[in-house]
């Protein structure tokens, strides 16, 4: 089994980003094997140049990783490498997902929530924008939803506060390490989130909230989620960057419309005008478009009847029915089928109209 110290150390090596780290592990077999490889072995890996090899063979990141692990133990922080079974299935589908992230919170099982919604928007929302945000968050409560945002001023913290107030789990993705909370005014909010949700960061605990960290953390916000909801935003900025990441990741995008020429709603209106987002004015509207049934409501008659299904197809439908939607890797694990065999049965079920494929290779029972 791979060594957590080596996994952390690999992410700290200069010249090694998330994509390179994953490629190195793919070729070498583990993070520990990467560090044990000599220069000649590393030279055989495509795309690994002299600068990266020099950084790998001379870096003292194992010592840094040891310090990070001491902080983790003291503050009950978990580190999750992308090869870890606990790594969120939705995030794993994203090519640019972090090789490792740190989590402090109530349970890693939160990332397996059947529905995860990212809510983003301006740091200076109108009172109307705040009210809409709170209303929509509360509207998601019957749908067993996890809310994800960035703990920033404005729409982000409004979503977090409302979710925590009504007992809805929510996760904040930070642009700095878990050794501090930024902005400091949101510390009490963050502490409450940890009790029924948590905080995520790809940075070591001492990392400061540098400007360049925040655009990059937005790919994690969208990557963890099924959809991104934008509530009031300008034509450019962090929310629009999150939308760009969501588009690359195949996520659904929704936007709350605003008054024409309202500077706080220009971004949302443009997204809707250019058909980059679907219009949303309530949680129920979004749930309907996503074909989410409220827990406890009967599944579709078509899926209940299992017409003319062989035993394997029946098993697959039951697995998919058990969750509002299921990603391909979790379905493969649950069904215990080879990828090729699974693909054949999925295709048959789609032809029969029993299941539908959502963006990101996720499956639901047809309504």
Higher pLDDT, 191 or 15: 191
Q: 278 pLDDT exceeds 70?
A: yes
Among the ranges given (7-21, 267-281, 316-330), the one the predictor scored with the smallest mean pLDDT:
316-330
Gyration radius from the chain CA atoms: 22
Q: Each residue of 101-128: pLDDT tens digit?
A: 999 999 999 999 989 999 999 999 999 9
Q: How confident is the model at residue 367 (pLDDT cuts 50, 70, 90)?
A: low
pLDDT of residue 303: 42
Which tops the pLDDT comparison, 277 or 338? 277
Output the pLDDT for position 125.
96
CATH class as words, domain 104-289: alpha beta
* Res 313: pLDDT: 81
Beta strands per DSSP E along 215-334: 227-231, 252-255, 278-279, 326-327
Q: Which residues pair with 79 in a beta bridge?
A: 102
Q: Which of 17-21, 150-154, 185-189, 361-365 has the lowest mean pLDDT?
A: 361-365
Can you give the pLDDT at residue 9?
95
Longest Cα–Cα distance in the chain: 62
| Top-confidence residue, 157 or 2 | 157
156-165 mean pLDDT: 98
- Model confidence at 230: pLDDT above 90: yes
Q: Residues 8-45, buried b or exposed e (16+ Cβ, 10 A)? A: bbbbbbeebebebbbbbbebbebbbbbbebeeeebeeb
The residue extents of the domains of the chain are: 1-75, 104-289, 301-365
**Among 224, 230, 231, 227, residue whose Cα is nearest residue 197:** 224
Give yes or no for residue 1 having a pLDDT over 50. no
| Of 10-24, 263-277, 312-326, minimum mean pLDDT range | 312-326
Q: What is the pLDDT of residues 304-336, one digit of tens each?
A: 445 567 778 888 888 887 777 888 888 888 787
Q: Reply yes or no: is the peptide bond before residue 338 cis, omega within 30 of 0.
A: no
Inter-axis angle of helices 155-165 and 127-139, nearest 10: 40
Provide the mean pLDDT of the chain: 90
pLDDT at 55: 85
pLDDT category at 366 given cuts 50, 70, 90 is: confident
Looking at residue 314, its pLDDT comes to: 80
pLDDT exceeds cutoff 50 at 299: no
How many whole angstroms separate alpha carbon 14 and alpha carbon 52?
8
Pick the closest to residue 355 from 311, 298, 317 (CA basis): 317
Question: Residue 301: what pLDDT?
Answer: 44
Which pLDDT score is estimated for 99?
96
The predicted structure's pLDDT at residue 177? 97
- Assign domain 301-365 one CATH number from 1.10.10.10, 1.10.760.10, 3.40.50.720, 3.55.40.20: 1.10.10.10
Global confidence as pTM = 0.80
Domain 1-75, CATH number (from 1.10.150.20, 1.10.1040.10, 1.10.10.10, 2.40.160.10): 1.10.150.20
pLDDT reading at 195 higher than 90: yes
């Amino acid at each position: 089994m791979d060594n957590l110290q080596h996994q952390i150390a690999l992410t700290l090596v200069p010249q090694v980003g998330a994509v390179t780290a994953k490629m190195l592990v793919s070729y070498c077999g583990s993070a520990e094997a990467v560090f044990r490889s000599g220069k000649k072995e590393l030279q055989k890996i495509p795309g690994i140049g002299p600068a990266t090899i020099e950084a790998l063979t001379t870096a003292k990141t194992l010592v840094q990783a040891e310090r990070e692990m001491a902080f983790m133990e003291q503050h009950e922080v978990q580190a999750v490498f992308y090869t870890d079974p606990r790594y969120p299935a939705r995030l794993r589908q994203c090519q640019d997902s972090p090789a490792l992230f740190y989590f402090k919170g109530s349970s890693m099982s939160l990332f397996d929530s059947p529905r995860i919604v990212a809510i983003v928007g301006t740091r200076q929302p109108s009172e109307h924008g705040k009210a809409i945000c709170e209303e929509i968050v509360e509207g998601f409560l019957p749908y067993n939803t996890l809310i994800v945002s960035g703990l920033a001023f404005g729409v982000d913290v409004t979503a977090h506060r409302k979710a925590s107030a009504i007992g809805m789990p929510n996760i904040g993705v930070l642009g700095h390490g878990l050794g501090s909370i930024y902005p400091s005014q949101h510390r009490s909010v963050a502490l409450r989130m940890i009790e029924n949700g948590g905080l995520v960061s790809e940075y070591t605990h001492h990392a400061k909230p540098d400007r360049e960290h925040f655009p990059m953390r937005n790919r994690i916000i969208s990557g963890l989620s099924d959809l991104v909801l934008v509530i009031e935003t300008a034509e450019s900025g962090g929310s629009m960057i999150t939308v760009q990441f969501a588009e690359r990741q195949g996520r659904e995008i929704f936007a709350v419309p605003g008054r024409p020429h309202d500077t706080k709603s220009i971004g949302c209106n443009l997204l809707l005008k250019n058909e980059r987002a679907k219009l949303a004015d309530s949680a129920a509207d979004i749930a309907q478009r996503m074909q989410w049934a409220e827990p406890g409501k009967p599944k579709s008659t078509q899926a209940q009847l299992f017409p003319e299904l062989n035993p394997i197809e029946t098993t697959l439908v039951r697995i998919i029915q058990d969750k509002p939607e299921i990603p391909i890797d979790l379905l493969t694990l649950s069904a215990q089928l080879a990828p090729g065999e699974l693909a054949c049965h999925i295709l048959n079920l789609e032809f029969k109209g029993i299941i539908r494929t959502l963006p990101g290779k996720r499956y639901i029972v047809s309504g």
